[in-house]
Amino acid sequence: MVKVSIVIPTYNERENIGKLISTLKSILENLNYEIIVVDDNSPDKTYEVVENLAKKDKNIKLIRRIGKKGLASAVVDGFKKAEGNILVVMDADFQHPPELIPKMVEEIKNGYDIVIGSRYVKGGKIEDWSFLRKIISLGAIFLARILFPKIKVKDCVSGFFALKREVIEEKELNPLGFKILLEILVKGNYKTVKEIPFTFKGRIKGKSNLSKKIIFEYVVHIVKLMRESKEFLRMLKFGFVGFLGIFVNIGVLYILTEIFGIYYLISGIIAVELSILHNFLWNYFWTFKDRNNKFLNSLCKYNLSCLISMVINILVLYTLTQYFGIYYIISDLIGIICGFLANYLLSNHWAFKE
Ligand code: GDD
Ligand code: MN
């Protein structure tokens, strides 16, 4: 039988939580459900309100944690207590419309593994956000998507989503800060994701807990996720292959010129192409082994990707030296770094794409 567990993290939501729970109760009437509120011992005693409601209704449960441990970890603790096979996460402050939950649950029943309430697909909106908050949000999403090609959704940092229990079962979730969905999208066991648009309303009561510290925690969280999901290792492998390629390049240049007596510029061109081929083989069969791309297709794209990176390298060398008066060796070093990053991004997102 299907059971839905709604997990709601709270911190100083005394004015909201009672009303939200009664709204949920009327919306979820026809479902088998439980509501799990995870409160971090809020100074405004949010837990008291929930405790009283829980006494009268066995579908309402409270986890009261002592010592503020954060939004994302609160959700993980909620999951641990949850009995449902469908898990829903939402905020307590009415910025997430409860009316959307039946539709999200329906889509999970239709077969989607994860359903996300999304502000960034067509039809989605954000009310009342400052320009700065919008930039921070888009920056957070951009960073996540560029570093984790596995993530294909627009709103990967939404706090409103539903998922099948299997997605996170047996997965070690260890998130930091606010972005529990990001943790699930990187580590979870899922195939299909659906985004449903919604309007992220302005907060009426209470205030946002987002602070500079949370933004900093986001960056630390991303770095931690890169380590845990082996994306760092991938970048290291890619760099190591490039390093080996330098020796192939120089070796071929030397042998063709010295032993075969070929004009050095011709040897140079052959050396470049052979080192690209060499790097490709390593990257195809090692760095991006898990991606299962078509060999020839990847090969062509990787060649192009190297060409584009070379152009970027030269452009940076030229611009920094010519227009900024920087010593040309330093300009070149910066150019090499830019070229490397461009090549990595193009390889990761295009030539050897997921
Ligand atoms: N238990 C617990 N512990 N709950 C917390 C904590 C905490 O440390 N911090 C915040 N919460 C609860 C709040 O009480 C609220 O129910 C929910 O988590 C969201 O917190 P807000 O403070 O309202 O965050 P926001 O509106 O700025 O951010 C929301 O939107 C972001 C999208 O940009 C959240 O949904 C984020 O998860 C989401 O990424
Ligand atoms: Mn909020």
Whole-model pTM: value is: 0.91
Query: Based on the domain organization, do 176 and 236 belong to the same domain?
Result: no
Ramachandran category for residue 292: left, alpha or beta (phi over 0 → left; psi -120 to 50 → alpha): left
Whether residue 163 contacts residue 115, with contact meaning beta carbons closer than 8 Å, is answered with yes
Site to probe by mutation for ligand 1, drawn from 161, 178, 203, 222 as the one with most ligand atoms within 8 Å of Cβ, is 178
Query: Based on the domain organization, do 163 and 48 belong to the same domain?
Result: yes
Separation CA 226–CA 19 (nearest Å): 39
Query: Based on the domain organization, do 236 and 211 belong to the same domain?
Result: no
Query: Based on the domain organization, do 210 and 141 belong to the same domain?
Result: yes
Locate 140 and state its tokens. Answer: 């957070």
Residue 210 confidence (pLDDT): 86
The pocket around ligand 1, CB under 6 angstroms, is made up of 9-11, 13, 38-40, 68, 70-71, 74, 91-93, 95, 137, 157, 159, 178-179, 208-210
Residue 327 confidence (pLDDT): 96
Query: Based on the domain organization, do 210 and 307 belong to the same domain?
Result: no
Q: Which residue, chain included where needed, has tokens 């193009």?
A: 346
Domain span at 149: 4-228
Query: Based on the domain organization, do 235 and 221 belong to the same domain?
Result: no
Show the CA angle centred on residue 322, arms to residues 317 and 328, nearest 5°.
45
Shortest-distance Cα residue to atom 24 of ligand 1: 208
Domains: count for the chain:
2
**Nearest atom, ligand 1, residue 74 CA:** 1
Extract the residue ranges of the chain whose pLDDT is less than 70: none
Query: Based on the domain organization, do 157 and 102 belong to the same domain?
Result: yes
**Nearest atom, ligand 1, residue 93 CA:** 16
Of 228, 253, 285, the last residue of a domain is 228
Using alpha carbons, list the distances in angstroms from residue 201 to 91, 125, 268.
12, 8, 60
Of 194, 228, 262, the last residue of a domain is 228
Query: Based on the domain organization, do 186 and 247 belong to the same domain?
Result: no
Ramachandran category for residue 148: left, alpha or beta (phi over 0 → left; psi -120 to 50 → alpha): beta
Query: Which of these, 59, 68, 85, lies nearest to 11 by C-alpha position?
Result: 68
Query: Based on the domain organization, do 215 and 271 belong to the same domain?
Result: no
Query: Based on the domain organization, do 222 and 258 belong to the same domain?
Result: no
Q: What is the CATH number of the domain that holds 175?
A: 3.90.550.10
Query: Based on the domain organization, do 81 and 62 belong to the same domain?
Result: yes
Query: Based on the domain organization, do 194 and 101 belong to the same domain?
Result: yes
Residue 211 confidence (pLDDT): 87
Q: Which ligand ends up closest to the CA of 43? A: 1
Ramachandran category for residue 177: left, alpha or beta (phi over 0 → left; psi -120 to 50 → alpha): left
- DSSP class per residue in 165-190: GGGTTT------TT-HHHHHHHH---
Residue 105 confidence (pLDDT): 97
Separation CA 260–CA 100 (nearest Å): 72
Of 172, 199, 228, the last residue of a domain is 228
